[in-house]
Amino acid sequence: MPSTPGQVPSSVVVVGAGLAGAQTSAALRQHGFEGHLTVLGAEGLPPYDRPPLSKELLKRTEPVWLADDLGIDLPALVDDLRLADPATRLEADREQVVVRTASGDDVMADAVVLACGSAPLRPAGWDAAMTLHTAGDAERLRAAAVPGTRIVVVGAGWIGAEVAGVAAGAGAQVTVVEAGPVPLERQLGRHVGGLLAPWYDAAGVTLVTDVAVEKVLPGPAGDTPGGGSVVLADGRVLEADLVLAAVGARPASGWLAGSLPLESNGGLRVNRAGRLTGLHSPTDPAGRLHLDALRRVWAVGDIATREHPVFGPVPGGHWSAALHDPEVTVRALLGLDERAAEPEHVRERLGLAPITSHAPYVFSQQLGHDLALFGVPSPFDEVVLRGTPTASGGWAALYLENALDRHPRRTPEGHRVATVRAVLLVDSPREVGQVRKLMNRGVPLTVDLERALDPTVKLKDAVFRP
Ligand SMILES: Cc1cc2nc3c(=O)[nH]c(=O)nc-3n(C[C@H](O)[C@H](O)[C@H](O)COP(=O)(O)OP(=O)(O)OC[C@H]3O[C@@H](n4cnc5c(N)ncnc54)[C@H](O)[C@@H]3O)c2cc1C
């Protein structure tokens, strides 16, 4: 018997057997869901952790299984576990959801949790280039990244920088080609990206910036798979035994087009609890789902653009979101948290307990440095540094909301008060815990800027409390 919206579902299908899918399954059982649980995967492998694929590319020959790392025993939790039967189609209506699988089965359930992550981008015609997203990709890359190999990495983003550093450390000749003027410009802005550029040379990696890759031609027959010629827009040609396209990822939502409203980046817009909102881009023909159908569809992890009380809609791509958000989503799906999507001030007024919201968080180990980014930098932010990048110790960049305020706020001592949208910590492992706490409070972080920029003052002691 299908549940009516608002009732606890008696069957759930989870699409995706990665971190978010595994966490969703574990949370469902942990919170007492006794109904029928189906999990559909695409890789034919039990869930594993992706960040070590680049950071520990050469150190680990086996994936970090989530069964070992988080203790998630999927076969014990799931009634119908299909690790190699991906979903190909979804129909959600007022009565139920139906998920068609690659093997041709229709899985019917009261609710679906979409946890199908993202897929790496590979520009058209770049067939000769590899990408790094799965354990299989890592295995191929590991086999090819031997001393003396010529590797061209396209893209100085998170994954490109991590692989370049690891491969150069192992004796490969690595060149990174970046279309922007500095590494990580899109993620960290031009000023901070420029401070990271010298790391490449110091790690023995050649960095070529400000030039786009026009095409990647396959190498001569018999060459290493993944090898080829990288043709740059200025006419230069870089010969490589291995080309890695590290130019970003996109939600793995192609199979949902026409069934659910998709954002222009391919993501699914969900509310704070992870339930589909039904908002869609103007060009999307879907998005006319009945509210009772929308209520059956939830999304977590990389595929979701999730509403955050401080940062607004946050696109996926954060490991920490895939780790933490399923808990909130499952509690809402099971009706354990009433009105879970409401902002905290409304919940407080209604006498409801607060719901923890985690700030977006990315960590990276690249070219001999540790990075931790909390929050969402915007190109409009004012960037200020705490500490000196040239010194051997750590430093941080604070991204301040550029409010164009004609009457900027001041502390009683006359110091400027600023709202911090993001904090990047570089080689500062001891600060990670306190910054995480500050950014996870679910309210904007305002600081006495003079104190915040003094590295001898703890950031928590620079918080401005009017
Ligand atoms: C090499 C690498 C390094 C990374 N390093 C970091 C890092 O340092 N810090 C950080 O914050 N993030 C990092 N990330 C990103 C992080 O791993 C992701 O944010 C996280 O894995 C998201 O989890 P997920 O479960 O949403 O998606 P995924 O981990 O992508 O899992 C989704 C699963 O769903 C499957 N699937 C897709 N389509 C279907 C379908 N139609 N039917 C069934 N199954 C389907 C996929 O095959 C996949 O197994 C890294 C990613 C990579 C690839």
Residues 66 and 96 in one domain: yes
For residues 257 and 373, the model is more confident at 373
Residues 450 and 428 in one domain: yes
| Longest Cα–Cα distance in the chain | 72
The answer on pLDDT for 322 being more than 60 is yes
Ligand 1 centroid–CA 319 distance in Å is 8
18 C-alpha vs ligand 1 centroid, how far in Å? 6
Which pLDDT score is estimated for 392? Answer: 74
The predicted model gives 136-165 an average pLDDT of: 95
Whether the predicted pLDDT of 283 surpasses 80 = no
Q: Are 170 and 58 in contact (CB under 8 A)?
A: yes
CA angle 209, 211, 215 (to 5 degrees): 130
Distance 137 CA to ligand 1 centre (A): 13
**59 and 113 within one domain:** yes
Q: What is the pLDDT of residues 26-85, one digit of tens each?
A: 999 999 999 999 999 999 999 999 999 999 999 999 999 999 999 999 999 999 999 999
Phi, psi (rounded to 5 degrees) for 405? -80, 125
Distance of CA 32 to the CA centre of its chain: 28
pLDDT at position 92 over 70: yes
Q: With contact defined as beta carbons under 8 Å apart, do 166 and 174 qualify? A: no
Confidence bin at 86 (pLDDT 50/70/90): very high
Does the beta carbon of 266 sit less than 6 angstroms from any atom of ligand 1? no
Q: Whose CA is nearest to atom 2 of ligand 1?
A: 51
Residues 157 and 214 in one domain: yes
Residue at 41 is within a domain: yes
Distance, CA of 333 to CA of 30 (rounded, Å): 13
- Residue after which a domain boundary falls, among 247, 281, 309: 247
Ligand 1 near 50 CB (within 6 A): yes
Measure Cα distances from 296 to 55, 109, 292, 332 in Å.
Answer: 37, 9, 7, 12
CA of 412 to the centre of ligand 1 (A): 47
Q: Is 289 in the pocket of ligand 1 (CB under 6 A)?
A: no
Same-domain check for residues 106 and 48: yes
Does ligand 1 have an atom closer than 6 angstroms to the CB of 65?
Answer: no
As a whole number of Å, the CA-based R_g of the chain is: 23
222 — pLDDT class (breaks 50, 70, 90): very low
Among 228, 247, 266, residue at a domain's last position: 247
- Same domain flag for 16 and 158: no
**Same-domain status, 188 and 144:** yes
The stretch 157-177 carries a mean pLDDT of 97
417-426/118-120 β-pairing = unpaired
DSSP single-letter state for residue 79 = S
CATH number of the domain enclosing 300 = 3.50.50.60
317 in any annotated domain: yes
Average pLDDT over residues 286-308: 86
Kindly tell me if the per-residue pLDDT of 2 is higher than 50: no
18/90 same-domain check: yes
Is 352 a domain residue? Answer: no
The pLDDT value given to residue 17: 98
Is there a domain that residue 3 lies in? no
The answer to whether the CB of 459 is under 6 A from ligand 1 is no
- Quote the CA–CA distance of 305 and 261 in Å, as a whole number: 12
What are the backbone dihedrals phi and psi of residue 371, each rounded to the nearest 5 degrees, phi first? -120, 140
Q: Is the CB of 120 under 6 A from ligand 1?
A: no
- pLDDT given at position 4: 53
Q: What's the pLDDT score for residue 220?
A: 64
Overall average pLDDT of the 83-104 stretch: 95
Domain count across the chain: 3
Report the distance separating Cα 284 and Cα 282, nearest Å: 6
The closest alpha carbon to 37, from 18, 11, 17, 8, belongs to 11
In a domain, 356, yes or no: no
- For 87-96, 154-163, 409-418, which range has the lowest pLDDT when averaged over its residues? 409-418
The answer to whether residue 23 is domain-embedded is yes
Q: What pLDDT, in 10s, does the model give residues 363-385?
A: 999 999 999 999 999 988 999 99
Task: Indicate the top mutation candidate among 45, 116, 324, 370 to test ligand 1's pocket, ranked by most ligand atoms within 8 A of CB.
Answer: 116
What rounded mean pLDDT belongs to the chain? Answer: 91
What confidence score (pLDDT) does residue 152 get?
Answer: 97
**In the structure, what pLDDT confidence band is assigned to residue 138 with cuts at 50, 70 and 90?**
very high
Residue 279 lies in a domain: yes
Closest among 129, 99, 102 to 43, alpha carbons compared: 102
Q: Which of 205, 231, 247 is the last residue of a domain?
A: 247
Q: Which of 20, 8, 1 is nearest to 252 (CA)?
A: 20
242 and 256 in one domain?
Answer: no
226 pLDDT above the threshold of 90: no
DSSP run (H or E) holding 142: helix 135-144
Strands 417-426 and 395-400: antiparallel
pLDDT at 433: 96
Question: Looking at the domain assignment, is residue 6 inside a domain?
Answer: no
Q: Is residue 154 scored above 80 in pLDDT?
A: yes
User: What is the model's pLDDT at position 134?
Assistant: 97
Same structural domain, 204 and 165? yes
Cα-to-centroid distance, 199 and ligand 1 (Å): 27
Task: Give me the pLDDT at residue 355, please.
Answer: 84
**CB-neighbour burial class of residue 121 (10 A; exposed 0-12, middle 13-18, buried 19+):** middle
Residue with tokens 């990647």: 216
Query: How far apart are the C-alpha atoms of 442 and 454, rounded to whole Å?
Result: 25
Contact 150, 239 (CB under 8 A): yes
pLDDT for the residue numbered 391: 65
Nearest to 241 by CA among 298, 172, 176, 288: 172
Mean pLDDT of 348-371: 91
Q: Which atom of ligand 1 is nearest to the CA of 50?
A: 17
Residue 53 to residues 64, 364, 365, 395, 433, Cα–Cα distance (Å): 9, 12, 12, 27, 24
Q: Any bridge partners for residue 238, and if so which?
A: 230
Structural domain containing residue 418? 361-462
62 and 84 part of one domain: yes
CATH code, domain carrying 408: 3.30.390.30
**Residues whose CB falls within 8 Å of the CB of residue 292, separated by 6 or more in sequence, listed in order:** 5, 94
Tell me the mean pLDDT in the region 391-399.
Answer: 89
Q: Comparing C-alpha atoms, which of 198, 224, 219, 225 is closest to residue 209?
A: 198
- Please provide the DSSP assignment of 322-359 as one string: HHHHHHHHHHHHTTSSTTTTS-HHHHHHTTPPP---PP
Same-domain status, 238 and 255: no
Q: How does residue 242 score in pLDDT terms, banded at 50, 70 and 90?
A: very high
